[in-house]
Structure 1
Amino acid sequence: MRLFLDCEFTRLSAEAKLISLALVAEDGREFYVELLDTWREEDCSDFVVQVVLPQLWGGSYSLPTAEARLSLLKFLTLFKNEVEIVTDAPQYDWELFCNLVYEDGRWPRIVRNFPTDATTLAPTSEGEELPHHALLDARIIAGMFS
Structure 2
Amino acid sequence: MILFLDTEFTGLDQAKPDLISIALVDEAGREFYAELPPSHYAVQCNEWVHFNVLPHLWGGDHVLSVEDTRDRITAWIAGIQDRAVIVTDCPDADFQLLRWLLPEWPGNLTPTPILFTAWSIGDDEQPKLHARMASYHTPERPAHHALHDANSLRVGVLYAIENGWTLWRD
TM-score by length of 1: 0.91
What are the ranges of 5 or more consecutive residues in structure 1 without an aligned counterpart? none
Alignment of 1:63-142 (within 5 A): 63-102=64-103, 106-119=104-117, 121-122=120-121, 125=129, 126-128=132-134, 131-142=143-154
Whose helix fraction is larger, Structure 1's or Structure 2's? 2
- The answer to whether the Cα contact below 8 Å between 1:18 and 1:38 also exists between their aligned partners in 2 is no
Q: CA RMSD in A?
A: 1.8
59 and 95 in structure 1: CA distance in 2 versus 1, 3 angstrom threshold: same
Q: Tell me, in whole angstroms, the C-alpha distance in 2 between the residues paired with 1:38 and 1:21.
A: 16
Q: Note the C-alpha offset of 1:38.
A: 6.7
Partner of 2:156: 144
Q: Tell me, in whole angstroms, the C-alpha distance in 2 between the residues paired with 1:142 and 1:10.
A: 23
Q: Note the C-alpha offset of 1:121.
A: 3.9
Aligned to 1:127, what secondary structure does the other structure show?
A: helix
Q: Report the residue type matching 1:107 in the other structure.
A: W
Whose strand fraction is larger, Structure 1's or Structure 2's? 1
Percent of paired sites with the same residue: 37
Q: Report the residue type matching 2:6 in the other structure.
A: D
Q: Tell me, in whole angstroms, the C-alpha distance in 1 between the residues paired with 2:28 and 2:68.
A: 25
- The answer to whether the Cα contact below 8 Å between 1:21 and 1:34 also exists between their aligned partners in 2 is yes
Q: Tell me, in whole angstroms, the C-alpha distance in 1 between the residues paired with 2:29 and 2:53.
A: 24
Moved over 6 A (4+): none
- The answer to whether the Cα contact below 8 Å between 1:21 and 1:33 also exists between their aligned partners in 2 is yes
TM-score by length of 2: 0.78
What are the ranges of 5 or more consecutive residues in structure 2 without an aligned counterpart? 159-170
Q: Note the C-alpha offset of 1:39.
A: 2.8
Q: How many residues align?
A: 143
- The answer to whether the Cα contact below 8 Å between 2:18 and 2:41 also exists between their aligned partners in 1 is no
Q: Note the C-alpha offset of 1:37.
A: 6.6
38 and 3 in structure 1: CA distance in 2 versus 1, 3 angstrom threshold: farther
Higher relative contact order (CA 8 A, sep 6+): 1
Q: Note the C-alpha offset of 1:60.
A: 1.0
- The answer to whether the Cα contact below 8 Å between 1:6 and 1:138 also exists between their aligned partners in 2 is yes
Partner of 2:10: 10
